[in-house]
Structure 1
């Protein structure tokens, strides 16, 4: 699809972004508005319902799905800075509401115009709008939801290639899970920690100064592990670098 710079975007502010890293939202708004899109953030939005759905509470997940649909269906596009939440909106909502005659069509309509942020920037905005500078050696973590559910692989790398001074060094086994997995890290903490340690050691082997990614849950998980072993590596959401807003403390840092 050719770049399209008209319309209004509804920015889905994820729970983790709101609570832990609002800078991601500011970075997203800056890039979208600089490209000519109008950005709105519905004040009444809440959780997408993924934790409830993954925990088997489909009634609660359906209620949250209906709420989200009502909040965002008037926009030209919904954009979320998280492959995890976006996969819920795009794939799980139509399944959850497929037998509801009042909501099935609305769920599919929202799914059809919902985008993960980095993919939207690459395909609908165009990488030529990236004008930031970040003279650092970085490595990129592919989250499971973004990679396996949405097929996000090339978009973040194509965008980062536009950043002046940035050098991307790929880690070995870059597509292996970091161990977060939402409620997985709560249910299986020992296994989660082992996966995080394995991932961190491969990231450190790149000698990168900075770890980037597109899912804040994964990035918080990795930042926590890096902090516990006192590794001098900063962690940012990719959009913070693209927008030139990665000049402060990294994720998980004071």
Structure 2
């Protein structure tokens, strides 16, 4: 079996990044940084991981400001844009399937790097303190105004994944009830229907998300109607339009 030490020796010549071993995260992190440095434009690759991607420049055209196309970037900007993509690919190639599944939704190298560190290392908190913090996050989990159902689902799933890392088991009914009850009022009609036709003890959170996703358009209509009816000016305008001029 090839160890991280073996990979460290080969990091300058090997075309594949070192594979993360969960109990050796710190070693993997150091070796991965060496591996990145040994790639073409390695310093720019590592810069993307540590400080974030290129802030895409803009250009003014016909008095309208728009982002530059890739073909309009300067030589240095184009290299940095390429290195941003390379950095993300290098990190993803060094992850075992179970970790890859938890972080693959992150496309920015810096976010991906920090997410892996959180999963593998946590914070300076003890395991018990971390578990208490995660339970508290679960209890206080709330919908953010303006976010889509998919964004809400992703945030909730990431929290559940963090809890799974610490083997913090929750009943499926508890998870589903939290997910449904945290959604905004526009979903109330559909939540009631779900509770009537679905067994919340056996239905997965992914199935709930898929079902509700089919009704997102109608939920938006409900929200717009609610906002219109709660606006006094809109109510007056609607009333005036429905009155006969005679």
What range describes the TM-score normalised by the shorter chain of this pair?
Answer: under 0.3
Name the structure with the higher helix share.
2
Name the structure with the higher strand share.
1
Higher Rg of the two aligned structures: 2
Q: Which has the higher contact order (CA 8 A, sep 6+)?
A: 1
State the TM-score, normalized to the length of structure 2. Answer: 0.26
State the TM-score, normalized to the length of structure 1. Answer: 0.25
